[in-house]
Amino acid sequence: MSDIVTIAVFCGVSWLFFKVLRFGRREDTLPPGPPTVPILGNAHLLPTKFPYIKHWGTHYDGIFSLKVLNGAIVVVSDMKTVKELLDDRSAEFASRPVFLGMDAVTGGRYIVASPAESHFWKITRKVIQPLVSPQAVQKYCPLADMETTQLLYDILHEPEALYNHITRSMLSFITTIVFGQRTSEHDSPIVIAFREYIEQIFRVFSPESVPVNFIPALMYVPERWAPWKKMWKKIQAMQCSLYFKLFREVERRKRAGMIDECFAAKMLEQQEDLALERDTIVYICGVLLDGGAETTASFLQNLILCLVKYPAVLKKAQAEVDNAVGDRLPDSNDIKSMPYVQAIIKETHRFLPTAPTSIPHASVDDSEYRGYIIPRKTPILINVYRDLELYERPEAFWPERYLLSPDGTMSGLPDGTGYTRTTLPFGSGKRLCPGMHLANTNINLAVMRLLWAFDFASIDSTAPSTPKWDIENEFVDGITLSAKPFQCKITPRSTRKASIIEKSYKSLRDGFGGQLQ
């Protein structure tokens, strides 16, 4: 009897030993990747900061895998593969990996993290669509006009707070559309709460949270030993407070019988038909703040940093703007007659993309691609940051590339390798950012007006003629690439322009019965 027990124990221990030894080893069916080590796989190779900067080499032919413990990450590293996998086979690859942290924070009511096969994802995309279609966004041009006019006025009077003015302006554009409430001051409680919250929410995707996705058993660790759970709880409280505060105000106006055109009010009207719970509506509205305000604000801050570092680009763009509009403020239609400004916007998206690795996709089921098997729910990241193969001088901020070819790629690329699209910064396939047209409407106007109104210059008179970039010090670490607040000298380009800004702002304010500020 004791022999049988000994043999059973020996077999059990050997099985466990071999099982553990296999931990971290790449399955033959996965795309290739760097050599693994037992248990960790490639976990030790993963950058803990600024993950998109690392170029893993071109020898993997556009797709490779990284083993993380017993799981894997698939990385798509050229545009041909982005097209074949994430665009052309979008129905299969539009899902999301498991985001246990985000689900814990939002109760699974966050479209960004929802699987494409879920009812919640489908209904959210459906109800957002009428708000963000190319036709629908036209009606927000007057709002973009108002917010960018105030942006110019605020910068004119308090240039040192550039960063905060941009955040306020972009946030106010979204809070007005979604919750019918402007955020007219950069130090108002909503703007401060938003800034504090947005700094935290991205930590749900950070290395402090991610291991839980690979070792789900960590979810059972009691909170007092699980710092990530404390962090999620704090973020959850901040998120609820922000979203519900804005939403309760919409409900109050509804009770008071006020006419309300905002998205949240429309959702409340349709609540019964859509069979949505109140909390679900709140989160559908709330995610538009997170997705819409921070991305557009970061984009503008990144663009201005480029203009500060490349004064010749600034001068050339200002000449184009002046030529098109003279002394009047640019309006939304003017963008068509400003190819160089359009090129600057595209180049900023390429050079400093707001979401460099996009948001991971996943396949709905195990899927075959080029003879490899990509297991369902495996995170698929994009790593085409400043694609070295497609662009001439990829590491230079050079908007002219978009005047030479519409997608900015170099000429003479072999067939099939030159595929790219200027919508790439907004994602892929069925997951393509629903707010793209809304973002473009506001960004185009803001950029034209900033160029028209101000000179932006380095405070360092000894700045090198070939600008230096120090991503790790100049940018905030996280899944978005966003410049830290930076100093620059901002001056109105003429007294006439300054007085046009004053007058435009005051006439808007008077038109709103003094409500603008």
> Binding ligand HEM by CB under 6 A: which of 356, 399, 425, 492?
425
Contact between 343 and 399 under an 8 Å Cβ cutoff? The reply is: yes
- Is residue 111 a contact residue for ligand HEM (CB under 6 A)? yes
Q: Which of 385, 426, 452, 475 binds ligand HEM (CB under 6 A)?
A: 426
Applying CB under 6 A, among 31, 101, 115, 291 the residue interacting with ligand HEM is 291
CA separation, residue 237 to residues 64, 104, 158, 285, 426 (Å): 38, 12, 33, 17, 29
Q: Does 37 bind ligand HEM (CB under 6 A)?
A: no
Contact window for ligand HEM (CB under 6 A) among 237-245, 350-358, 414-422, 490-498: 350-358
Where in 453-492 is the site for ligand HEM (CB under 6 A)? none
Which phi and psi (to 5°) does residue 474 adopt?
-90, -15
Q: Tokens 């694609």 sit at which residue?
A: 387
Applying CB under 6 A, the span of 16-24, 218-226, 331-339, 351-359 interacting with ligand HEM comes to: 351-359
- Residue 75 interacts with ligand HEM (CB under 6 A): yes or no: no
CB 204, min distance to ligand HEM, A: 15
CB nearest ligand HEM: which residue?
435
Which residue among 318, 383, 428, 504 contacts ligand HEM (CB under 6 A)? 428
| Stretch binding ligand HEM (CB under 6 A), from 133-141, 211-219, 289-297, 500-508 | 289-297
Site for ligand HEM in 248-287 (CB under 6 A): 287
In the chain, the N- to C-terminal Cα span, in Å, equals 86
CA gap 218, 220 in Å, rounded? 5
Which residue of 42, 172, 295, 302 would you call a contact of ligand HEM, by CB under 6 A?
Answer: 295
Residues 357, 359, 363: CA angle, nearest 5 degrees: 110
Q: Is beta strand 482-483 parallel, antiparallel or unpaired with respect to 475-476?
A: antiparallel
Say if CB 355 and CB 349 are below 8 A apart: no
Backbone dihedral region for residue 256 (phi beyond 0: left; psi -120 to 50: alpha; all else: beta): alpha
Contact 303, 447 (CB under 8 A): yes
Interaction of residue 444 with ligand HEM, rule CB under 6 A: no
β-pairing, 367-369 with 372-374? antiparallel
* Helix (H/G/I), strand (E/B), else coil: 209: coil
Which ranges of 326-415 would DSSP assign to H, the alpha helix?
Answer: 339-351, 401-404
- Contact status: 439 vs ligand HEM (CB under 6 A): yes
Minimum CB separation of residue 296 from ligand HEM in Å reads: 5
Residue 228 lies near ligand HEM (rule: CB under 6 A): no
Q: Which residues bind ligand HEM (CB under 6 A)?
A: 111-112, 125, 174, 287-288, 291-292, 295-296, 299, 354-355, 358-359, 361, 425-428, 431-435, 438-439
